Structure 1
């Protein structure tokens, strides 16, 4: 396997430069801002992206994306349909560029770079160029952006889609028309396809539309927005229905959030408790402004309402409140914080505040790029190294599964094995691909499934003297009856045991 249109006037007072007819010149000035912000975010996202080992969710992305197109679609009918759009994108990407760590994460870095561009454009449209510059720098250099830019999951794509949708909404409200509403519909649709929870962005967007329509007494705006939303949701509805059937397997581990959960979510939302405190403190500054409160209120709604809405919805039978699922609100908080910093007097105070917030995240930025930063149970490379050293052709493989299948120990090992090492999954009666699932079908008669396999590598949890700890009882009994332990190696919470058939 290789690793390799309407002419209606604006609804709100425009900045002086636009009002004086300088819009084209301002547009030319702002282009380098969004461009350098995107390039900076891309560069920061790529630095060190090949170091951290993949954690289990990324492993799921890899095993799904590297299947054949038909096999992938068949799998989505049974599990992970809500991640289907991302898997299909990653499938096309890996078909062209391979499945190395950097390659698997590169699309997320590109998506986050695109999000940076829309963060700058939104800040420029609502505030001024100074705010846009601050927003671009802050977004590129906070830890949470690096994290999802270096993760082979859909979250960076969701951030991009929502950031684009917010800017496109503001643009459409200035001159509503089909040519401006349609791109907004596309962005909202993309957000929903990449992660259903992101559709909560429609709450603040609807409030913004209603407030502007009321202020301008142009209720056709609300009608145009409603039609744009309907168009956006049409392709998403089938995914929502399919996702509801699979929800028990996807997020049943989430529990109903308490009020304190809202206070606890910020540290993870920004990837650092210190950065979270700095961003929220800066975001609170514009609330005291005596002028320009409309844009402040609008972008604050974009950041706050989805979080509140997700908490309320999660009080029902299914919980959705989780920091990763709310990462799409980060661009709004960054713009709001940048507006507060940019308004500080003297101006050097704003620069100092920006440098301070970015500096507070430096340690977390370094930690994100550590080899084992993703998850404590990420040990696939170490286990694969032990197996590779002692491998012989024809060797079998028995990883811990059962209730612990979610840790994907088998795939962690498989990803890190060299091409020459081919292990037979002894107790898999049907492979995951043949099962149209993320997991294989376990053999019902383990003793019979052993066949004539001479040697088997058993990978299970350490902490006991039992080399078959937490294996299903029938599997452990079959191995004890027919094999003897040759060697055992402990690797960060796992033990790798080589057993050989007793003569």
Structure 2
């Protein structure tokens, strides 16, 4: 038996690290399974406390869409939120098996973020070494933003999973090109686009990586393989892009054109804390100074930085796509680079101390994430409890909507109501389901929609003595004319008023 000795480089890697040493150096089972413990740790951290924060409005939109029948959901996607369609369909299937509690609604995101952790570790192992992979797993799992979006019933964790998987699969395919390695890359690219169109910006740094590799070794087959694979992967995404463009005016018209300052604001959301953002970005710069392994560091820097800059440039046009959570998929690349920077510190205990310091910086934000107030928006649970306590069959329901429909007061209350409570949405001429939309069509003649309803629960904003505050004028006038106030109860953010018809 012969023994080969490989000297570590000043960056903490071995000479083979720049050519995919992960498989050879990680022959021990414990090393091959680094991705597994990282995924498990990320899952546990994300799941703990996930049932405590109440759903905020974006999550309520996910719930409202996912609880519809498959046919009704597909009908809605033809008019609104098509870009979230794959996630809604996945959540619909999940709910049919596991229910729609806060914890269960968020569990798919925790699973997806755990998968992203696994691929981040594999990327670190492939690009650098095992020490970097271990640091990556710990740092990723304990970032506040990972927990934040691992506890969010939205598609962002799935986007992070797809893009992180695609990055690792690209590095593998470039190390040894074959159809068996390009095929899963195509799947990951398609999944990223189907979960969120903006994430396709990661193809820009991927293309740059391929070009840089081609420039260094002039292997034209790799360039062709990447182009063909990407083109095939985008085929199922093209219809979604076309449909999304027709809906874009309604979906994201509220996003403002970014300024230069907007780029600086992104980092806090990517890492969940301004201090952690500063630490991670600083550490991520260290691998660029390595005498060896610098190429992989540059490639990951492209994956982390280019989509942010590209999104900013594109958003200077008629439509802005520059939103911090839309760029969350760049976060794993920064984590791997920061982990590589920590792994390079000498003496070695200095790297461990640095990792511990970064993790400790995030503890206050980890605690905040697990409070009921972390999700912005008023709480509908108390309002629902008041209605449920005084409910009688046949009661009506009037939530504040109109210009304030974006706050989804109706969804907040409906989600928290027990199944036995069936309220008639008095001023809804057609329900959101019947309208193939998230929101109902409200009556043009409010008074005519009252019907014979004897009692109505009115839910609007607190902070005023007016029980009809912020209701459309015709709705408030119809209620004042035909109903009298029986009781008014204020909650955190809402006031719940029971009115009865004047005889």
The answer to whether TM tops 0.5 is yes
Per the alignment, residue 213 of structure 1 pairs with 214
CA shift, 1:390, in A, is 1.8
User: Which whole-Å deviations, capped at 9, do the CAs of 1:110-156 have from their partners, x for residues lacking one?
Assistant: 00000000000000000000000000000000000001111110000
Residue 394 of structure 1, CA deviation: 1.4
Following superposition of structure 1 onto structure 2, how do residues 9-408 of structure 1 map, counting pairs within 5 Å?
A: 14-15=16-17, 23=24, 26=27, 28-375=29-376, 377-408=377-408
Report deviation, 1:452: 1.2
Counterpart for residue 10 of structure 2: none
Q: Cα distance, 1:158 vs. partner?
A: 0.2
The aligned residue for residue 415 of structure 2 is 415
Distance across 2 between alignment mates of 1:429 and 1:478: 15
Query: Measured at CA, do residues 16 and 339 of structure 1 come closer, stay the same or move farther in structure 2, by a change above 3 Å?
Result: closer
State which drifts further: 263-272 or 126-135.
263-272
Gaps of 5+ in 2: 1-13
Alignment partners' CA distance in 1, 2:382 and 2:144: 27
Rounded to whole Å, the distance in 1 between the matches of 2:286 and 2:269 is 22
1:443 is displaced (CA, Å) by: 1.2
Q: What per-residue deviation string (whole Å, max 9, x for no partner) do you get for residues 61-118 of structure 1? A: 0010110000000000000000000000001111111111111111111000000000
1:18 deviates by 7.3
Cα distance between partner residues in 2 of 1:151 and 1:72: 20
- Checking the alignment, whether the CA contact within 8 Å between 2:284 and 2:334 is kept in structure 1 is yes
Aligned to 1:481: 481
Cα distance in 2 between the residues matched to 1:296 and 1:157: 25
- Report the equivalent of 1:453: 453
State the alpha-carbon separation in 1 of the partners of residues 428 and 23 from structure 2. Answer: 68
Q: Is the 8 A contact 1:134 1:354 kept in 2?
A: yes
Q: Partners of 1:307 and 1:231 in 2: how far apart?
A: 25
Q: Is the 8 A contact 1:78 1:437 kept in 2?
A: yes
The 2-side partners of 1:322 and 1:33 are apart by 33
Q: TM-score, normalised by structure 1?
A: 0.95
Q: 1:212 to 1:13 in 2, by over 3 A?
A: farther
Q: Provide the C-alpha distance between the structure 2 equivalents of 1:97 and 1:22, rounded to a whole number of angstroms.
A: 38
How large is the RMSD of aligned CA atoms in angstroms? 1.6
Uncovered stretches (5+) of structure 1, i.e. residues with no partner: 1-11
**In 2, are the aligned partners of 1:79 and 1:437 still within 8 Å (CA)?**
yes
Q: 3-state DSSP class of the match of 2:488?
A: strand
Question: Which residue of structure 2 aligns with residue 7 of structure 1?
Answer: none
Deviations 1:418-437 (A, max 9, x none): 11111110011111101000
Change (3 A) 1:18 1:189: closer
- What is the alpha-carbon distance in structure 2 between the residues aligned to residue 293 and residue 123 of structure 1? 13
Question: Which string of whole-angstrom CA distances, capped at 9 and with x for unpartnered residues, describes residues 212-267 of structure 1?
Answer: 01101112211110001101100000000000000011111101000011111111
- Partner SS state of residue 330, structure 1: helix
Aligned residues: 490
- The alpha carbon displacement at 1:24 in A equals 7.8
Separation in 1, partners of 2:19, 2:58 = 47
Asked if the contact 1:54–1:378 (Cα under 8 Å) also holds between the matched residues in 2, the reply is no
1:403-454 Cα offsets, whole Å, 9 max, x none, are 1111111011000001111111001111110100000110122112111111
Q: Which residue of 1 aligns with 2:499?
A: 499
Distance 1:136 1:51, change over 3 A: same
Once the two structures are overlaid, the 10-residue window that deviates more, 198-207 or 273-282, is 273-282
How big is the shift at 1:372?
2.1
Q: What TM-score does the superposition give when structure 2 sets the normalisation length? A: 0.95
**Cα-to-partner distance string for 1:176-222 (whole Å, 9 max, x where unaligned):** 12111111011000000000000000011000000001101112211
* Aligned mates of 2:26, 2:462 — CA distance in 1: 65
Deviation at 1:27, TM superposition (A): 6.8
What is the CA–CA distance in structure 2 between the aligned matches of 1:189 and 1:319, rounded to whole Å? 23
Give how far 1:26 is off.
2.9
Q: What SS class does the counterpart of residue 435 from structure 2 fall into?
A: coil
Counterpart in 1 of 2:8? none
Q: How far does residue 316 in structure 1 lie from its aligned partner after superposition?
A: 0.5
Shift of 1:29: 4.4
Q: What's the secondary structure of 2:153's corresponding residue?
A: coil
Tell me, what secondary structure is at the counterpart of 1:240?
A: helix
Q: Give a deviation string over 1:381-418, Cα, whole Å, max 9, x none.
A: 12111212222221110001111111111011000001
Shift of 1:272: 1.1
Residues in 2 aligned to 1:204 and 1:425: alpha-carbon distance in whole angstroms: 50
Aligned to 2:428: 428
CA drift of 1:291 comes to 2.6
CA, structure 1 residues 350+305, in 2 after alignment: closer, same or farther (shift >3 Å)? same
Question: What is the rounded CA distance, in whole Å, between the counterparts of 1:132 and 1:331 in structure 2?
Answer: 12
SS of 2:158's partner is helix
